[in-house]
Structure 1
Amino acid sequence: MGCLPEDAEGELGDGGRARRIRAPRRPVDRSRLLRQPGQVAAVRTALIGDREVTRLGFGGWQLSGVEPRPAQVTARHVIETVFDAGITLIDTADSYQLGGEEPGHNERLLSETVASWKGQADALLIASKGGRSVTETGERYCNASPSALRAACEGSLRRLGTDHIELYYLHRPDPAVPFEDSLGCLSDLAEEGSIRSIGVSNVDEAQLHTAHALLGPRLVAVQNEFSPWNVESEPVVRLAEQLGLAFIGYAPFGGVDRSGQLGSSSDLANVARRYDATPHELTLAWILAQSPAMFTIPATRTAGRVASLVNGASLDLSTNDVRELSDIFAGLRNA
């Protein structure tokens, strides 16, 4: 799988260093609910490795890597609202920035928000990524040599204000660098205590098999795009289940260009009415129903939309409705 020129992730929608890496446990939904004051919904949790986090996460890409970027105060309010809603899986990367900037705009934004937040920061799992860079004019490219990955991780550690990163992904396999070399660097970083566990992103089945064989229990997650518009990673989801890994689906609404199309389907609207939900809420519920290994990390620039994300991730769909939605989404893809 080659390195794409741009991310598809934008949407509307303390302790000491860890010297030992525990074996990951299968990310089965534990049916625990995290309730927050004022929230009408609850967020289900599951395991990523040995960390229990919400199956609904939040992707920071849109707050930093898409123009027009929201004002700093607005972006911080969105993140605080996410935290206050009980969402504990937070996704970022050193390349979430605009062209011509220093790397790590989103990492700095998250770190500053966490530092001032009054909640329980230890409950948050902030996952970052390395292996992707941005040119002065905003083009994105793979940069996953061992030396580049090590430098990227060191930069992320500084910006996040921590001595170790809980979960660190290879952002994309670099066609110019042997996959095994990139993974070997991440393994070294884990051995040194800079990262606690490892993920791979934008990989196919063969690459996930390779990563699992090389990294063993240090590998806990795989992150690929998964939405009604893109189900190409279904085999990777099934493999993640078999290997006891978490599958983190990004761009659940299909990206900015396709998110709005979900509201145009009368069939989808009919099913949504059964649950007193919006099409976007129903979409999140359908995605999470695909597998007990599934997590999803939608993005939003608007604090007012966070409650809707929580509502969607909290819906219990019947088996028949999951099937019906699968048929509806297949029709939308093929239209």
Structure 2
Amino acid sequence: MSVTPRTIGGDPVYPIGLGCMNITHAYGPPMDEGNALKLLGRALDLGCNFLDTATIYGAGRSEELVGKAISERRGDVFLASKCVLSFKDGKRILDARPESIKKACDASLKRLGVDMIDLYYMHRPDPNVPIEESVGALSELVDAGKIRMIGLSEMGAGLLRRAHAVHPIAAMQSEYSLWVRNPEIAVMDACRELGTTLVAFSPVGRGFLADPPADPARFHESDMRGMAFPRFSAENYPGNLSLLDEARACAKEAGCSVAQLALAWTLAKGEHVIPIPGTTSLAHLEENHRAGAVSLTPDMVARLDAHFSPEKAVGPRYSPPGQASVDTEQYEFEKAGA
């Protein structure tokens, strides 16, 4: 399977990375260590060389597992992690003060068992700290040799430009899929202009575009989809299911699965876009990896664009507290419904 790499800050990576949140929390119970290491090892064996984790994933446990998986293979991996968003006394907090960012980086390096992180993101904006101060601290970490590149997550074009004026921003991570089109409002174009890679998280719609649950009411009690994402609620979810009919038809024409179609669609949106689906399944990992070789015609991309136009999604992508924690642009109809 011949696939052309994409780049982050000039470094080549396989066009589809691996988001490492699922292995420790979010969509059900955490994986046991043996299975998690097997999954991560298989990703590396396949040539998936972009692993994306964060301080908050499993309260540091994801970083520990990734660190174990790459301990003998550091040279095979483009390693990303995130700071600012974490837990304190069991509560989720935002802390982008320069001293906190530096302390968080040292803790991440220790958990990962590495001397340097390739890409270190601010996981969320902190409304109490100017972005310039936070990026200034990250640039000092670059100078100290603790990180190589700086990234942002869930921020809009305005904050990206302010941050980039302090230090080049290698990547912007945003939710982007057929089901969530908000980056198309402004940040995708800003990334293209500034040479910033758009790292698309949840590119298969938190499972909606892969194995859609028949009844979200049966989610495991630890599954965030039952709490934080209104599109999976009992009142909204049935209205979204009809969107899948066209996706299934297009997937059949393209000779791929719906999940592969969703990933191929993100890749078709620009050479600067890299999706990072997460999974706990070896079969899904391999299926997602093969999507790097799936090519969609411009006509099919346009057809999917029209069918999944933003206003057709039923329900907001975040609960009100979740939306308040991000700086991503919203469509006017979303603002009106808030």
Q: TM-score range by the shorter chain?
A: 0.7 to 0.9
Q: Give 1:231 deviation, angstroms.
A: 1.0
Structure 1 partner of 2:66: 110
The one-character-per-residue Cα deviations of 1:88-138 (angstroms, maximum 9, x if unpaired) are 1110111111xxxxx42111101111125xxx541310111111111444x
Matched, 1:242 2:221: no
For 2:75 and 2:283, locate their aligned partners in 1 and report how far apart those are by CA, in whole Å.
Answer: 25
In structure 2, what is the Cα distance between the partners aligned to 1:86 and 1:259? 22
Decide which of 59, 62, 75 is 2:22's aligned counterpart.
62
> Where does residue 5 of structure 2 map in the other structure?
45
Q: Could you tell me which of 244, 251, 254 is aligned with 2:205?
A: 254
**Identical aligned residues as a percent:** 30
Task: Specify the alignment match of 1:25 in structure 2.
Answer: none
Q: For residue 40 of structure 2, what is the aligned residue in structure 1? A: 79
- 1:276 equivalent to 2:226? Answer no
Once residues 311 and 296 of structure 2 are traced to their aligned partners in structure 1, the CA distance between those partners, rounded to angstroms, is 20
Deviation of 1:227 (Å)? 1.2
Q: Is the 8 A contact 1:125 1:166 kept in 2?
A: yes
- Distance, in Å, in 1 between the alignment partners of 2:201 and 2:71 is 26
Contact 1:45 1:52 in 2 (8 A): yes
**In structure 2, what residue type is equivalent to 1:151?**
K
CA shift, 1:54, in A, is: 1.1
Using the alignment, how far apart are the partners of 2:173 and 2:199 within structure 1? Answer: 4
- 1:137-148 alignment, distance < 5 Å: 137=90, 139-148=91-100
Retained in 1: the 8 A contact 2:135–2:166? yes
Q: Does the 8 Å CA contact 2:71/2:113 hold for their aligned counterparts?
A: no
Of residues 151, 172, 180, the one that matches 2:103 is: 151
Contact map agreement 2:210 2:258 (CA 8 A) in 1: no
1:311 aligns with 2:261: no
TM-fit CA distance, 1:154 = 0.4
Q: d(CA) in 2 for partners of 1:332 and 1:239?
A: 23
- Give deviations 1:16-42, integer Å, cap 9, x for gaps: xxxxxxxxxxxxxxxxxxxxxxxxx45
Contact 2:181 2:310 in 1 (8 A): no
Q: Is 1:170 aligned with 2:134?
A: no
- Aligned counterpart, 2:328: none
Deviation at 1:315, TM superposition (A): 0.5
SS of equivalent residue, structure 1 residue 177:
coil
The reply to whether residue 320 of structure 1 matches residue 299 of structure 2 is: yes
Amino acid at match of 2:191: A
TM-superposed CA distance for 1:266, in Å, is 2.1
1:189-208 → structure 2 map (5 Å cutoff) = 189-208=141-160
Query: Residue 43 of structure 1 contacts residue 87 of structure 1 at CA under 8 Å; is this kept in 2?
Result: no
Q: 1:79: how far off? A: 0.8
1:296 aligns to 2:280 (yes or no) = no
1:178-189 equivalent positions in 2, closer than 5 A: 178-189=130-141
Q: Give the structure 2 partner of residue 232 of structure 1.
A: 182
Residues 152-200 of structure 1, C-alpha deviation per residue, up to 9 Å, x if partnerless?
0001111122221111111111112222111111011111111111111
What is the identity, as a one-letter code, of the residue corresponding to 1:230?
V
- 1:88 alignment partner in structure 2: 49
1:249-306 C-alpha deviation (Å, 9 max, x unpaired): 1011222567544986222111111122111110000011011110010000011111
Q: How many residues align?
A: 284
Distance across 2 between alignment mates of 1:205 and 1:126: 25
Greater relative CO (CA pairs within 8 A, separation 6+)? 1
Relative distance call for 1:174 and 1:272 in structure 2 (3 A) is same
Q: Is the 8 A contact 2:39 2:282 kept in 1?
A: yes
Does residue 1:125 correspond to 2:87, yes or no? Answer: no
SS in 2 for 1:64: coil
What secondary structure is seen at the aligned counterpart in 1 of 2:22? helix
Q: Which amino acid aligns with 2:179?
A: W
* 8 Å contact kept, 1:131–1:143: yes
For the structure 1 residues 52 and 263, does the alpha-carbon distance in structure 2 shift closer, same or farther, using more than 3 Å as the test? farther
Cα deviations by residue, 1:45-66 (Å, 9 ceiling, x for unpaired):
1111121111200000011133
SS at match of 2:204: coil
Letter in 2 for 1:185: A
Structure 1 residues 299 and 240: alpha-carbon distance in aligned structure 2, compared to 1, 3 A threshold: same
In structure 1, the residue matched to 2:87 is 134
Q: Counterpart of 2:333? A: none
Q: 1:236 to 1:195 in 2, by over 3 A?
A: same
TM-superposed deviation, 1:210: 0.4
CA contact (8 A) 1:43 1:86 kept: no
CA contact (8 A) 1:229 1:332 kept: no
Q: Is the 8 A contact 1:42 1:310 kept in 2?
A: no
CA distance, structure 1, for counterparts of residue 310 and residue 51 of structure 2: 32
Assess if the C-alpha contact under 8 Å between 1:223 and 1:248 holds in 2.
yes
Give, in whole Å, the separation in 2 of the partners of 1:282 and 1:318.
11
Shift of 1:332: 8.1
